[in-house]
Amino acid sequence: MEYKITTYSESETIELAQNIESEKFPNMVICLTGDLGSGKTVFAKGFAQALEVQEEVTSPTFNIIKEYTSGEMPLYHMDVYRLEESKQDLGIEEYFTKKGVTIIEWADMIEDQLPDRRLDIRIKNSIEDEDKRIITITPHGKKYEDLCEAIL
């Protein structure tokens, strides 16, 4: 099943992330896809804020992985855009079982390394309104389906 949501501002995208965070669980994996500037990092920041992460959350483009451990549970924020050409093993899969939440920006670049059970979130910019986002959420696995039923 697929869920479509439209947000009309950055704050609405943040609110969606916070609603998803309210149903978090250990080893949760959220895979974000979308064009540059679509709101992937905004989503991650909103999720981190609800998780009570104390550090400033920024795009991990040049670090690939940033770990935030000050919140209710660890948050592993990845940006794998720069890995498109590289198939080297960075141990990304290890993060899926570290009892935290993993958020992966540009997840489609490493599709073969993603777990079967995850939440896919595709964010698309609107042509007619620069603040409007069409967000498609696809749960893979019962926990993620239950999460979607609870909040959407």
Tokens at 97, concatenated: 């079982």
Tokens at 103, concatenated: 């958020």
- Let me know if 52 is exposed, middle or buried by CB neighbors in 10 A (0-12, 13-18, 19+): exposed
CATH number of the structural domain spanning residue 80: 3.40.50.300
- CB–CB of 49/75 below 8 Å? no
Q: How many domains does the chain have?
A: 1
Amino acid 86 reads: S
Boundaries of domain holding 128: 3-151
What confidence tens digit (pLDDT) does each residue in 50-63 have? Answer: 999 999 888 766 77
Specify the residue for token string 């009309």.
Answer: 8
Model pTM score: 0.94
What confidence tens digit (pLDDT) does each residue in 17-37 have? Answer: 999 999 999 999 999 999 988
